[in-house]
Amino acid sequence: MTEVKHWQNFIAGEWVDGSESIDVYDPATGEVFASMAAADAADIDRAVQAARACVASGELTDCRPAVRAEMLHRIAAEIRALAEEGAPLLVQESGKSLDDAMGEFTTAARYFEYYAGMADKIEGKSIPLGNDYVDFTYYEPMGVSAQIVPWNFPVDICARSLAPALAAGNAVVVKTPENTPLAMLLLAKACQNAGLPDGALSIINGYGHSTGAQLVAHPGIDQIVFTGSVATGQAILRCAADRALPCVMELGGKSAAVVFNDADMDQLLSSVKWGIFFNAGQVCSAMSRMLVQRAIYDQVVAAVKDLSESLQMGAGMDNADLTPLASADQQNRVASIVNRAKEEGARLVTGGDVPQRAGYFFEATVFADVTPDMSIFRDEVFGPVLAITPFDTEEEAWELANGTEFGLVAGVFTHDLTRAMRASRKLQAGQVFVNEWYAGGIETPFGGIKLSGYGREKGQEALYSYVHTKNVAIRVT
């Protein structure tokens, strides 16, 4: 029998238990392997009060910014040191591949290094108002940033918001996703080892409808950073409206790759493998739709079928091509959306079922001849499911690509640079990839438009989600 290890919340520099605990499952086997303390209202209050006290003490803001930069560099080094321990844990709780899990820790460390480099460059402006005035702006941290993280890239996404928030001098209270909370807690360990002041970071666990909802409604927070589903984002925005709290909303997507007749087939297929089957398609910016120009449509559908059928399904620890979904709930959700697509008449090219094996796996699935009236064209699946639609003209392609309520990312495959530039203007999305899905990095601003949310993470731009601008005008004559 597997030993069930118990994990605690990290509140104000201490590891503390909760009144309740939540089981953590291994998606590759469906077995419970750990339990996690859930934070209740009193725990949340303690975390927020500690963050408030940290803000009030000026510990993060009264120092020279270079001191904060050094702190972030130390945290990055600690994260790298914890990767060997953390990556297998992340595999066990999420089902993802070991390479991907290691990549999350590396990326998390990179976020801290990147924003360490910016911590001492958050500079205001001097604004000319004539000889009678001196006018300048400076940036002030928001205060207490409440951050809610989803389960698909918990370590990466936690660091993505935490690093710029700390770089700007905020204190942070993070809520983990209930089914993948463990590896993320190592970020608290890294911060503790690096000497981050107590209260500057608390990481609390618990269900969204209780712990999450209580955190975002707490009167002691000054900002909400939410990454997750549209429905939860909307519920949080309603709550934030009561106090006019600033929010960053990183929500879902249904992103399309537009493939023109002159696309390079090798580039396209490696982008498909990465774009929709990486992490079993549980990526907000996944290539969940593909629009293919008519002359190469049959050829592309056949090549994507071969690719999908060549993928080896297996456990994350074996670095299989197709790893399990993160939970039984997610497996049921994917199965139900796929069944609906079949009923609505989408042509099933390959896959389409839960395989006969333990764990929360789902077959690599491809639908062709998908039309805009079908739910599989519009609804986010968050699984290894690709919907392919043919098109004839460029104008039709833009209309199809923009024809959902989402606007997170989009891609174009063509060697016509003029057309690629047109695509970059016509596609309604926060990021446009040309000839490589996921082109970009932690340095490039990321976020959505439409129902995919607003605000930007990553890049220099993200830092300004964590500060207010203050203008000071001085009459000098």
Q: Which is nearer to ligand NAD, 84 or 329 (CB)?
A: 329
- Least distance (Å) between residue 329 CB and ligand NAD: 9
Measured between alpha carbons, how far apart are the two ends of the chain, in Å? 80
Strands 431-434 and 453-454, sheet pairing: unpaired
Among all residues, whose Cβ is closest to ligand NAD?
A: 208
- Least distance (Å) between residue 178 CB and ligand NAD: 5
Phi, psi of 86 (to 5 degrees): -80, -35
Neighbouring C-beta atoms of residue 329, cutoff 10 Å: 11
Note if 250 is an active site residue: yes
> How many whole angstroms separate alpha carbon 200 and alpha carbon 434?
40
Which of 207, 209, 161, 213 lies closest to 187, judged by CA? 161
- Least distance (Å) between residue 461 CB and ligand NAD: 14
Phi, psi of 366 (to 5 degrees): -130, 130
Q: State both tokens at 355.
A: 């395989």
Q: Which residues pair with 22 in a beta bridge?
A: 36
- Least distance (Å) between residue 229 CB and ligand NAD: 3
- Least distance (Å) between residue 446 CB and ligand NAD: 7
Q: Which residues pair with 457 in a beta bridge?
A: 446
Neighbouring C-beta atoms of residue 77, cutoff 10 Å: 16
- Least distance (Å) between residue 145 CB and ligand NAD: 14
CB contact at 8 A, 402 and 383: no
- Least distance (Å) between residue 473 CB and ligand NAD: 38
From the candidates 284, 363, 380, 457, give the one annotated as an active-site residue: 284
- Least distance (Å) between residue 439 CB and ligand NAD: 16
- Least distance (Å) between residue 216 CB and ligand NAD: 5
3-state helix, strand and coil shares in percent for the chain, rounded to the nearest 5: 40, 25, 35
Q: Which is nearer to ligand NAD, 176 or 350 (CB)?
A: 176
DSSP assigned state of 391: E
What distances in angstroms separate CA 253 from CA 64, 136, 297, 383, 453, one per listed residue? 40, 40, 24, 12, 10
Q: Which is nearer to ligand NAD, 228 or 324 (CB)?
A: 228
Q: State both tokens at 165.
A: 């928030």
Q: Which is nearer to ligand NAD, 150 or 164 (CB)?
A: 150
CA-based radius of gyration for the chain: 23
Q: Which is nearer to ligand NAD, 282 or 293 (CB)?
A: 282
Q: Which is nearer to ligand NAD, 25 or 151 (CB)?
A: 151
Note if 63 is an active site residue: no
CB contact at 8 A, 21 and 37: yes
CB contact at 8 A, 401 and 410: yes
Q: Which residues pair with 333 in a beta bridge?
A: none
Q: Which is nearer to ligand NAD, 314 or 430 (CB)?
A: 430
From the candidates 93, 113, 178, 250, give the one annotated as an active-site residue: 250
- Hey, what amino acid is at 399? E
- Residues in CB range of 239: below 8 A, 6 or more apart: 213, 216, 217
Q: Which is nearer to ligand NAD, 194 or 236 (CB)?
A: 236
Q: Which is nearer to ligand NAD, 330 or 350 (CB)?
A: 330
CB contact at 8 A, 416 and 403: no
CB contact at 8 A, 413 and 260: yes
The residues of the shown chain that bind ligand NAD, judged by CB under 6 A, are: 148-152, 157, 175, 177-178, 208-209, 212-213, 216, 227-229, 232, 235-236, 250-253, 284, 380, 382, 408
What distances in angstroms separate CA 309 from CA 12, 72, 290, 382, one per listed residue? 49, 44, 18, 19
- DSSP helix/strand/coil, 155: helix
Catalytic residues: 250, 284
